[in-house]
Structure formats: structure tokens, C-alpha cells
Structure 1
Amino acid sequence: MNETIQLPPLCERFFRRERRSVPDARRFASETLAGWGLAGTERADDVLLCVSELVTNALLHGVPPGRQFLLFLRYDGRALRIEVHDSGPGMPRVVEPEGEGGRGLLLVAALSDDWGVRERGLGKAVWCEFAGP
């Protein structure tokens, strides 16, 4: 029996600056999608891949040692928004891939309906959005 748990339209969680945070964040996002009744939808895998890419970028480039990052998910019935907040300097941008790296934001840009970066008081938030199911 696949039961949907009613979740609030905004779910967020802090994660540590460590490798296991990528699968932990993906699991959190998967559970959140299930709670919203969006697991198994046409774009659920794209959403989870974008979560993985944004979290990986934050860990590699945005989260200073000893700090955490925030994964923020919001679904209003029309659109799903993913944000990853970190406290590091610099603004990410799409670059030509080199070797095995550099494809994260290219994937996010290709899979999501919109994406961007906004400055915060300390650091930035990298976000992407998906139109409703």
C-alpha cells in the first residue's frame, strides 16, 4: 500500500559539509516528493538529479569547512522549487565541462524549467523550478 503523507508546502533541512550529505539530501527530497504525492511522476527523477547536482556543487564550492547548507523544497500545487543555501563566497555559473567535472549546472539548466542564483546576507541560494505535474 502506497500511502501519501500530507506534508506542508515548504520542507527544509540542514546538512553537514560531508560526502554522505548528497545521498541524505536526495533521500530527504524523495521522501518529501512522496509526501506531496509527486513520487513516480514524470519528472521526479529529474528533480532528484537536480537536488544531487545542486547539493554536490554546494559541498564542492560553497560550504566553508565547519559549516552546513540548507536544502529548501517548496510545492504550491503549480510549481516545485528547490533551493540550496550556502555561506560561501562566489556566484556559480554554467561553464564548459572539463574532464569528469563541470556538468552540474548544465544538467540543472537542461532538466529544470528555470534556475538561477540569488545573493543572501551571507553566501547565496542556488535554485531551480519545475512546473507542476
Structure 2
Amino acid sequence: MIPAPHTLPYRHVLTLPTGPGAVRLARETAEQALAEWGIGAHHPAVGPALLILSELVTNSVRHAAEVSPQTTVIYAAGPECLVFAVHDRHPRRPRLYGADGAGPGGLATVVELTHGLGGTAVVRGDADGRGKSVWITLPL
């Protein structure tokens, strides 16, 4: 069982404007945090993790910017896993899987990369129903 992000020894939270430059800043912050945590750029999970993160932040910029002026990215890691989430205040929750439950939905690249690494992807709605987070957990 993978531990909850708040129990992992390494954590960082970044809140940024939902607009131009958000993807670059989220990715650069991830690269810096991972390096500080001893997870090198050549680790097999890092490249796909950065692509997944970029896709999630891009989705927030494209689909949520009008109602969510800020996006929050949560980064966490421990010896066995890397966890990150992208949160915005748009109420629409994206589908991870197609209508039949068998294949990818709107986040096909995210799901394919995540599962290919043996990880998990989950969409969690905010308690007030006015936002959501997409959580990614990848084994290291």
C-alpha cells in the first residue's frame, strides 16, 4: 500500500496563475524538487512523470482558467513512490476512462503513462463540488 502524501518525507506545494507559463513553472518546480529529494533526472519514472504533470497542468489552463484563476500542484515523494496532484476550482471532473470503463477517456496519455509505470490515477472532487484534483501515484 502506498502511503498518503502528507505522510511522505518530501512535500512541496506550488500555487500559480492558471495561464501562460503555468506548465513551464510547474515542470521546473518538479525538476528542482525531485533533484533536491535525490530523484535524479535519469530515473526511469522522471521523464514520464514530467509529461503527465505537463498534461494535467495544460488541461487546467485550457479548461479551467476562466473560473479558476489559480492552479495548485502538490508534489510528494518517499523512498518507494512519487505522488503529485493538480488542483483547480473548475467543477467539471474529467473522465480517466472511456464510457465503457475499458479504455482511456479525456486523459488518455496520463492514464496510459501512469498505468504503464505501475501507478494509479484518481480524480477527487472538492467537498463543495466546485473543484477537483487529479492525483497521480508512481512507484520509484
Shift of 1:76: 2.0
> Are the aligned partners of 1:53 and 1:104 in contact in 2 as well (CA < 8 Å)?
no
CA contact (8 A) 1:91 1:124 kept: yes
The number of aligned residues is 120
Distance between the aligned counterparts of 2:55 and 2:73, measured in 1? Answer: 12
Name the structure 1 match of 2:37.
36
Matched, 1:124 2:132: yes
Range with bigger deviation, 65-74 or 110-119? 65-74
Letter paired with 1:43? A
CA RMSD of aligned residues (A): 2.1
CA contact (8 A) 1:54 1:104 kept: no
Pairs within 5 Å for 1:1-133: 9-39=10-40, 40-65=42-67, 67-94=69-96, 105-112=107-114, 113-121=119-127, 122-132=130-140
Question: What is the deviation of 1:62?
Answer: 2.6
TM-score, normalised via structure 1 length: 0.81
Structure 2 unmatched ranges of 5 or more: 1-8, 99-103
TM-score by length of 2: 0.77
What is the percent sequence identity of the aligned residues?
30
